[in-house]
Structure 1
Amino acid sequence: MSVPSAEPTARVTLVKAGRTKIRYPAVLVADDGVRLTVRAPWAAEGVRDFGFVRFEPGDVFTEHYWRDRWYAVKEVRSGDGTLKGWYCDVTRPAVVDGTEVVVEDLDLDLWVSADGTEVLRLDEDEFAASGLAAADPEAADRARLALDELAGLGRDGIVRLLSRA
C-alpha cells in the first residue's frame, strides 16, 4: 500500500506539554465537519520498535481526528498494505484551521492489534507524571474516560467507529 501520489493537502502538528512534538504533511481523505481523516507515511525517522509492533519507513497511517472527541485513531499498515493494527492517542479534540490540524497529546495511548488479540493500555506512567491531574483535573478526567472508551471498543468497535460515515 502506498500513500496516494496527490500533493499533501493537510499538515498535522502533534503538540505535547506545550511544545511541537512532530509536524508532517498528509493527504486529506475526508472531512465531514466533525471527523477529519488524513493519510501519511510514517513521519518519524528510522524504526520505532515498541515490542508489540514496529513502525518503520514505508508504513502508511490513516489517521482519524475528531473535533468533539478526546482521542485520535490511527490505522497502521505496512508498505504492502498488511494491517498492523490501530494506534490510538488520547488527545484534546483536534483543532482544524484550514489545512492545519493541531492535536494536543495527553500521554495516554492504546494499541489494538490487527487480529484484536492485543488491546494494550500504554503510557499510564507518563500520564501520571505529566502533572495534568493537578494542572487541569477536568482534562485529566476526560483523558482517562477516553482511554477507557477506546479500550472498551476493542478491535470490532474501532472498526465500526471508523466505518461510520
Structure 2
Amino acid sequence: MSANSAEADGVRVMEPDLDVILRKAGRTKIRYRAALLADDGTRVTVRAPWAGAGVRDFGFVRFEPGDVFTEHYWRDRWYAVKEVRAGTGALKGWYCDVTRPAVRTGTELVVEDLDLDLWCPADGTDVRRLDEDEFAASGLPERDPAAAAHAVAALDALERLARGADGLRALL
C-alpha cells in the first residue's frame, strides 16, 4: 500500500490534502494546500489553484487567479514539474523548479528551492532557463558544490526533455 492511502474495510482511501511548503535559503517562501492525487513512494502528485497573490506576469506567461497547477515532486530527483492550466482548462505550459528531492511527512510536502527554473510553453517553443543569476548569487556553488552540481545537472536534464520529441510529457 502506498504512503498516501489508508485501508478501511479493505478499500484504499486517498488522503485529501497536503500542505506544500516551498523553502528557500532556510525560510518558508510559500505554503499552500493542495489536493493529493497520487503518491507511489517516489513521486507525489498534487493539484492546487494558483497560490500567488494576484497576477504574476513574467512577460512570456502570466500566472493568475483561476489557473490550476498539477504538480509532480520526486523523492529521488532534483526537480519538480508543474503543469499549468488556465481556468478554462487550456494548457499554458510547464514550470519546472530545480529543488532538492521532496520530503513528505504526514500531510506536509517540503521542497527546497535551489533558484534555477525552466519554463516550457504548451507548444514546446521558446523553452527558457530562468534565474541562473539568482543561483550564482545564492552562494550554493561555493557552500555546497555537490548540491550545486545536482541542481545544474537537473536543469540540463529538464531542458533536454523539454526540447525532446515528447517534451516534458515524457516525465508524466
Q: Into which bin does the TM-score normalised by the smaller protein fall? A: over 0.9
The answer to whether the aligner puts 1:34 opposite 2:45 as a matched pair is: no
Separation (CA, whole Å) in 2 of partners of 1:118 and 1:96: 33
The answer to whether the aligner puts 1:68 opposite 2:94 as a matched pair is: no
Separation (CA, whole Å) in 2 of partners of 1:132 and 1:8: 35
Which residue is 1:14 aligned to? 22
Deviation at 1:157, TM superposition (A): 3.3
Render the CA deviation track for 1:103-133: whole Å, top value 9, x for unaligned: 0000000000000012100000000000001
* SS state at 2:23 partner: strand
Instruction: Please give the root-mean-square deviation of Cα atoms over the aligned residues, in Å.
Output: 1.1
Structure with more contact order per residue of length (Cα contacts < 8 Å, sep ≥ 6)? 1
Render the CA deviation track for 1:45-97: whole Å, top value 9, x for unaligned: 00000000000000000000000000000000000100000000000000000
Render the CA deviation track for 1:7-52: whole Å, top value 9, x for unaligned: 9511100000100000000000011000000000000100000000
Which residue is 1:3 aligned to? none
Which residue is 1:161 aligned to? 171
TM-score (norm 1): 0.92
Separation (CA, whole Å) in 1 of partners of 2:84 and 2:107: 22
Separation (CA, whole Å) in 2 of partners of 1:43 and 1:8: 18
What does residue range 1-165 of structure 1 map to in structure 2 within 5 Å? Answer: 9-154=17-162, 156-162=166-172
Aligned positions, number: 156
Listed as ranges, the gaps of 5+ residues in structure 2 are 1-14
| Alpha-carbon contact 1:8-1:25 (below 8 Å) kept | no
Q: Which has the larger Rg?
A: 2
Separation (CA, whole Å) in 2 of partners of 1:8 and 1:86: 24
| Alpha-carbon contact 1:112-1:119 (below 8 Å) kept | yes
* SS state at 1:145 partner: helix
What residue identity is the alignment partner of 2:153?
Answer: L
Separation (CA, whole Å) in 2 of partners of 1:59 and 1:157: 21
Which runs of 4 or more aligned residues in structure 1 lie more than 2 Å from their structure 2 counterparts after TM superposition?
none
